[in-house]
Chain A
Amino acid sequence: MQIAVDLVSWLFLSMGMFLGLTGAYGILKFPDFYTRVHAASISDTLCTACFVIGLALQSGFNLVTAKLFMILILLWLTGPAASHALVRAANTAGLKPVTEKKD
């Protein structure tokens, strides 16, 4: 039973790690600001969710789990709002998305 929980937990943790790395790679590689924010918001939401679920499985069912899920709710509320604020500010400032591929 413990091994099964550990396995699922590690699956979630490595999934989170993969998504975090993907987000970081996207921030570095994507062509313009809007696509980079899109990449960053992956690590804001799904990546943290995977980490929290993985850690919650590790801690068992206690106060720590409750705290972890509170943190998750907080991040799900603030992360997308922050991405929204960034994109909105860029749009207001007149930044145009790249629509054509440059050679």
Chain B
Amino acid sequence: MLLCEQQTPRGLNQLPRKKTEMELAVNITLLLMLCATVFAVVKLQSLFAIVMLFGIYSLLSAMIFVALDAVDVAFTEAAVGAGISTVLMLATLVTTGRWKKKPERSGLLPLFVVTITGAALVWGTLDMPEYGNPANPAHHHVADRYIAESPTEIGIPNMVTSVLASYRGFDTLGEVIVVFTALVGVLSLLQVRRPRTFARKQDNRPDTHRRRPYPVLQVVALIMMPFIIVFALYVQFHGDFGPGGGFQAGVIFAVAFILYTLTYGLDDSLALTPLPALKILAAGGVIIYGGTGVVSMLLGGNFLDYNVLAANPVSGQHIGIIVIELGVGITVASVLITVFYAFVTRAERNRAGEKQVDLPNKAD
């Protein structure tokens, strides 16, 4: 509260006017495009088109995040929303079919509910402070302190990483555990299995002739993979200085293996990244994160207080942030890879026909 009164916010008239006008124009255009995409989603019946439009919606919102200065968020949204979510939904469509039936239920009641709720919310916004005004209460209290102190207290340029990994380290630990729990949930619903193992046991023909030949795609995927992985590592360890960090790096890392699975098949990619190893890594990331907290407790600090990790508090913070970001990256990458494998296993079973693949299962 005190901080709020001490700060004298800059008035809007002192700002470079041309820049804000440009920002506003870009903002309005992008938001209108977003609305158009959403109305297409509401209207369309083809689920395939809906999912692709959802990918476009995510990419557009990532662009809006860049225009609104949230570069880290934009990075994550582009990788997660437009990449992973779309891929997972497409994998679901392989199982569930790509056409939805016409809605039998009348659209009037939902429309009425939605209109009333929307009107109430718009009425609520009239009390909200104006967009972009530096004097808004959301920009004060702790936010001032993060902006003023984090460069000296934590010593890294990217404030988002400072807040994410250090000031709000507890919160992020919780999120990583949620991601891990989602993996546990998915694995208890779906199984991951090498689709051709049983078939190969039955007839001892070599495996190679079964592989669907995608020569162009396979070569391109092989060329891309090292670059994707190097980029993931760059994002992981450069997250202190620019946009990036464990969440984004984990997603990009997972994308490399998803690309491999898409072009070479689940059999080959399970040979590359065995399921037990993925499970251990997913848990290991959480343990690395929580373990850092325990270590800082053992060294005499609070849980996740990185100051005690080195003689100098600032280098302690650096070590702590790098270690926990590594934990986050490992968990996110292995969780997303495993979830994708589970989805592909289900899709492959569906493709092969339930009977064929279920038979060996009943035999053992």
Contact = CB atoms under 8 A, between A and B. Distances in A.
Interface in A20-39: none
Interface string A45-85: 00000000000000000000000000000100110010011
B167 to A, nearest CB: 32
Contacts of B227: 74
Nearest to B216: A84
Nearest to A92: B212
Contact residues of B: prevailing secondary structure: helix
A81 B262 CA distance: 13
Contacts of A84: 216-217
A78 B224 contact: yes
A74 B217 CA distance: 14
B148 interface: no
B223 interface: yes
A77 B217 contact: no
Nearest to B263: A85
Contacts of B220: 77-78, 81
Contacts of A77: 220, 223-224
Contacts of A81: 216-217, 220
Interface in B203-227: 214, 216-217, 220, 223-224, 227
Residue among A78, A81, A88 having the largest count of chain B Cβ atoms under 10 Å: A81
A76 B216 CA distance: 14
Nearest to B262: A85
Interface string B114-149: 000000000000000000000000000000000000
Contacts of B214: 88
Nearest to B227: A74
A81 B223 CA distance: 12
Contacts of B223: 77
Interface of A: 74, 77-78, 81, 84-85, 88
11 contacts: A77-B220, A77-B223, A77-B224, A78-B220, A78-B224, A81-B216, A81-B217, A81-B220, A84-B217, A85-B217, A88-B217
Given A78-B220, A81-B216, A85-B217, 11 more contacts: A74-B227, A77-B220, A77-B223, A77-B224, A78-B224, A81-B217, A81-B220, A84-B216, A84-B217, A88-B214, A88-B217
